[in-house]
Amino acid sequence: MIQNPIVCKFGGSSMADAGQFRKVRDIVLSDPRRAVVAVSAPGKRSRDDVKLTDLLYAVHETASRGLDFSEPFGMIADRYLGIAADLGLKTDIARDLEEIRKKILADGKSLSASWVVSRGEYLSARLMAEFLGWEFVDAFDLIEINSLHRVTPEGYAKIGERLRRGERFLVPGFYARNAVGELETFSRGGSDITGAILANAVDASVYENWTDVSGLLMADPRIVDDPRPMPYVSYREIRELSYSGANVLHDESIAPCKAKSIPINIRNTNRPQDPGTVIGPHRKEETNGLVTGIAGRRNFSMIYIDKDMMNKERGFGARVMGILEGHGIPFEHAPTGIDSMSIIVDTAHLKPAQNEVLEAIERQLQPDKVRVFDELALVATVGHGMTGQVGVAARLFGALARRGISVRVIDQGSSEINIIIGVDNADYDETIRAIYEEFVGERG
């Protein structure tokens, strides 16, 4: 294989039908440096279509209860057979499907969901391998993950060695061999992780992640009219933004690339002429403007605890966190005062256990006051450009004040690349518009 190839991953919408397969082939063959391709299972062809992965989950669910799974299975078979026929492929996909069906029929109750669902990526990679005339390598034989779902340095070396023995490879995304030798899928959207692992293993010059949008936008287009694209965003910034709701890439796909400073280029299979967004190491020259992006999420709750002399009490915070941990509730932020502490959690996580949590706080910590405020939205304004700049916060709060938006929580990380504020759910859209307008441009 060539040195420092381009590794590509094509997502479900890029694999949805024969027409999309053709676009993928054109893209891949248009640059000889593209030598390793990971693919998803066929996704939706239109808004109300079904993803093959979802159909496979349905097959597993039905078969594990000993019921007839022929309907969802038939839909799956039709999709693959249709693609193969349209592209004139010879791979005996009908035989593969029949083997899979028989295996599910025989072992349906004991087969893991991972195995059944992984067949989506497996078959789509088989077809694409033939269509490109490239070598197929099964991810189960290639990628080993440990009990923490990570590839070890030896694991990376093995992948690199295997792939250097050939020229061009097609690999199914989404699954690997786990520490006990079984097939295991990653979490949903996990083909992104496969691509990132392969990029690391072969020291890719770039990891191209092909999807159905031309990269990231500076704000949610449902809220801001025609927001500007984000040409470059650092690994750190993207973590902050995607945590706050801007989702195009699986968050676990950053680390393998970051470890080797491999840029990730988000591209659009339907508009290959667009440059997309590059996610890479922080570079001063790429930082234009104070703010790189604005993202957020609604529906958080804030547990507010007030107790005189709290700051003198040892282990107060640890005990609060312990109570949340005991109920399996992850916390998002914990802005503190001298005698008060607020813990922000996802409302959906808190509600089922709210009474028990409050009782435990009362009992163990004997606060003066404890209250829960719901309907909180968090908005993150992110950008390396804000670091060390005077007056950024003043501008941000000024913009909100002018619109009469009251800020309920303020949290600026010490890294200064992120200002998170909490506002009422009802003010969420207006908050994002106000910040965008202040730092990026006029309202469209």
How long, in residues, is the chain? 444
51 contacts ligand ASP (rule: CB under 6 A): yes
Q: In this structure, are residues 244 and 188 in contact, taking their beta carbons and an 8 Å threshold?
A: no
Classify 147 as helix, strand or coil.
coil
256 contacts ligand ASP (rule: CB under 6 A): no
172 contacts ligand ASP (rule: CB under 6 A): no
- Nearest CB to ligand ASP, comparing residues 40 and 381: 40
Minimal CA–CA distance to 100: which of 128, 80, 86? Answer: 80
Stretch that binds ligand ASP, among 16-24, 187-195, 273-281, 402-410 (CB under 6 A): 187-195
188 contacts ligand ASP (rule: CB under 6 A): yes
Distance of CA 269 to the CA centre of its chain: 18
- Nearest CB to ligand ASP, comparing residues 69 and 210: 210
Does residue 358 come out as left (phi exceeding 0), alpha (psi in the -120 to 50 range) or beta? alpha
- Nearest CB to ligand ASP, comparing residues 187 and 288: 187
Q: Which of 155, 189, 367, 383 binds ligand ASP (CB under 6 A)?
A: 189
- Nearest CB to ligand ASP, comparing residues 169 and 174: 174
Q: Show contacts with ligand ASP in window 113-142 (CB under 6 A).
A: 120
Stretch that binds ligand ASP, among 96-104, 190-198, 264-272, 338-346 (CB under 6 A): 190-198
Q: In this structure, are residues 373 and 301 in contact, taking their beta carbons and an 8 Å threshold?
A: yes
Those residues whose C-beta lies under 8 Å from the C-beta of residue 84, and which sit 6 or more positions away, are: 91, 93, 127
242 contacts ligand ASP (rule: CB under 6 A): no
5 contacts ligand ASP (rule: CB under 6 A): no
Q: Site size for ligand ASP, by CB under 6 A?
A: 14
Minimal CA–CA distance to 306: which of 338, 261, 345, 266? Answer: 338
Binding mask 385-424 for ligand ASP (x = CB under 6 A): ----------------------------------------
E-only strand ranges, 222-368? 232-234, 264-268, 277-280, 293-306, 331-333, 340-346
- Nearest CB to ligand ASP, comparing residues 27 and 396: 27
| Token pair for 168 | 């061009």
Q: How many CB atoms lie within 10 A of CB 308?
A: 12
For the bound state, the minimum distance from the C-beta of residue 204 to ligand ASP, rounded and expressed in Å, comes to 18
102 contacts ligand ASP (rule: CB under 6 A): no
53 contacts ligand ASP (rule: CB under 6 A): yes
Stretch that binds ligand ASP, among 132-140, 183-191, 279-287, 328-336 (CB under 6 A): 183-191
Q: Show contacts with ligand ASP in window 24-43 (CB under 6 A).
A: 40-41
191 contacts ligand ASP (rule: CB under 6 A): yes
Q: In this structure, are residues 221 and 432 in contact, taking their beta carbons and an 8 Å threshold?
A: no
- Nearest CB to ligand ASP, comparing residues 13 and 214: 13
Stretch that binds ligand ASP, among 59-67, 189-197, 274-282, 404-412 (CB under 6 A): 189-197
Q: Which of 21, 122, 174, 300 binds ligand ASP (CB under 6 A)?
A: 174
Does residue 77 come out as left (phi exceeding 0), alpha (psi in the -120 to 50 range) or beta? alpha
296 contacts ligand ASP (rule: CB under 6 A): no
Burial zone of 66 (CB within 10 Å; 0-12 exposed, 13-18 middle, 19+ buried)? exposed
| Token pair for 72 | 């969802």
Those residues whose C-beta lies under 8 Å from the C-beta of residue 204, and which sit 6 or more positions away, are: 4, 5, 6, 7, 36, 198, 262
173 contacts ligand ASP (rule: CB under 6 A): yes
The Cβ-side half-sphere exposure at 192, using a 13 Å CA radius, reads 21
190 contacts ligand ASP (rule: CB under 6 A): yes
Does residue 146 come out as left (phi exceeding 0), alpha (psi in the -120 to 50 range) or beta? beta
For the bound state, the minimum distance from the C-beta of residue 238 to ligand ASP, rounded and expressed in Å, comes to 17
Binding site for ligand ASP (CB under 6 A): 11-12, 40-41, 51, 53, 120, 173-174, 188-192
